[in-house]
Copies of this chain bind each other. A is one copy, B any other.
C-alpha cells in the first residue's frame, strides 16, 4: 500500500483538524472520503482536497472501496454503531474519545474486536504520543525513580463552553488523567473519589469546578488530580510522579524536571543538534516543499533564507577567519545589495 486512503467521519473542530493534518503534515496518507451529518460542510471540504469525495451516510463511507482506514470524530453516541461497522469491514479505525458513551457498549466493542482477532481500533488518547509523557514513561521504565508510589496531576483550562456540566469535567477532562494513570503505571484504577471544594464563582452556574479526583490503583498507588476548567489563565497540564527513589514532573513549561539522588533537581540538556533542531529541519523542509509548489505561480520558490543570506554569511565568516589569525577586529567586505538588480 503506497498511500493510505483515509475516511474522516465528522468534520467539526476535531475532525477538520485531522483532515488538515492528514493533508498537509502526514506522510503516506491522504483523505479520500469525508462525512458529516451536516452534508454541506463535508461537501465543501471535499471540494478543497484533490481526490476527495463527500459521502452522506457514515456507514457507506466506512464501506466504501476507496477507504483503507477510518478516523472517527463524530459525536460519542454514534461511535458504537460506526466502530462495529469498521470491525465488520475489517477496517482500522482511529476513534476520538470516548470509545462509546457507556461502559456496557464499550465492553461490547472490546468483545467484538477480540472475536475478530485483529487489533483494528485505536482510541485518541494523544497524550501517550506527547514528548514529555513519553519521557516520563521512559524514566519510570528505566527504574531510576524506583517503583512509583504517588502521582499528582493538575488539569486546568482557562474556560469551557457554556453548556459544560459537572459530569463532563469527569468524562471529557479527567478522562485524560485516567488514561495517563493507566499508561504510566501499567495497571488498572480500582477506586475513584471526587472531592468538591468550594466552587469558583466565575464558573457557570451549577458547575462544580474545581474538582479533586482521587484514584487508587490495583497495587495501592495514590493519584490525585485537580481538574479546574475555568481558571481564566491558560491551559496547564501537569503531572508529577513520586517514586521510591526520586520524583519527576512535566508540564511546568520547562520540560521534564527530575529530582533524584544525590539531592539535585534539573532537566536534560539536548544531547545533539538532531534533538535540538530536528523539528526545525522538518518545518524547514515542509515549508520549502509547500513554497516550491506555490512558486509555480509566483516565481518565488522559497520563503526561507536565500542566496544573498548565503553570500552574507560567507563574507562574515571570511572576516572571522582573518580575525582568527590577527586577533584584531576585521571589517566585513560586501557589495551593496542594491547594486545587484533582483537580489
| Bound-complex Cα distance A18 to B214 (A) | 41
| Bound-complex Cα distance A343 to B201 (A) | 33
B170 close to A320 (CB less than 8 A): yes
- Least CB distance from A329 to B in Å reads 4
A321 close to B171 (CB less than 8 A): yes
B313 close to A97 (CB less than 8 A): yes
Chain B neighbourhood of A192, CB < 8 A:
316, 319-320, 323, 329-330, 332
- Least CB distance from A240 to B in Å reads 8
Sample (5) of A-B pairs whose CB atoms are under 8 Å apart: A28-B290, A150-B210, A191-B332, A210-B222, A265-B268
Partner of A121, one of B106, B306, B324: B306
Which of A103, A106, A214 is the most central at the interface, judged by chain B CB atoms within 10 Å of its CB? A103
Number of copies: 4
| Bound-complex Cα distance A101 to B321 (A) | 13
- Least CB distance from A22 to B in Å reads 7
Partner of A280, one of B50, B129, B213: B129
**Interface size for chain A: under 10, 10 to 19, 20 to 34, or 35 or more residues?**
35 or more
Closest residue on chain B to residue A273 by CB atoms: B235
Instruction: Give the segment of A32-40, A58-66, A224-232 that binds chain B.
Output: A224-232
| Bound-complex Cα distance A311 to B147 (A) | 26
Closest residue on chain B to residue A195 by CB atoms: B222
| Bound-complex Cα distance A109 to B307 (A) | 7
A331 close to B190 (CB less than 8 A): yes
A314 close to B149 (CB less than 8 A): no
| Bound-complex Cα distance A94 to B234 (A) | 38
Q: Is A81 at the interface (CB under 8 A from chain B)?
A: no
- Least CB distance from A74 to B in Å reads 15
Q: Which residues of A300-343 have CB atoms within 8 Å of chain B's CB atoms? A: 300-302, 304-321, 323-324, 327-335, 340-343
Chain B neighbourhood of A94, CB < 8 A:
284-285, 288, 302
| Bound-complex Cα distance A212 to B151 (A) | 11
Q: Is A161 at the interface (CB under 8 A from chain B)?
A: no
Q: Is A120 at the interface (CB under 8 A from chain B)?
A: yes
A50 close to B2 (CB less than 8 A): yes
| Bound-complex Cα distance A314 to B130 (A) | 22
Known A-B contacts A22-B285, A222-B195; A269 and B263 likewise in contact (beta carbons under 8 Å): yes
Q: Is A247 at the interface (CB under 8 A from chain B)?
A: yes
Partner of A125, one of B97, B219, B304, B323: B304
Chain B neighbourhood of A141, CB < 8 A:
none
B99 close to A299 (CB less than 8 A): no
Closest residue on chain B to residue A208 by CB atoms: B324
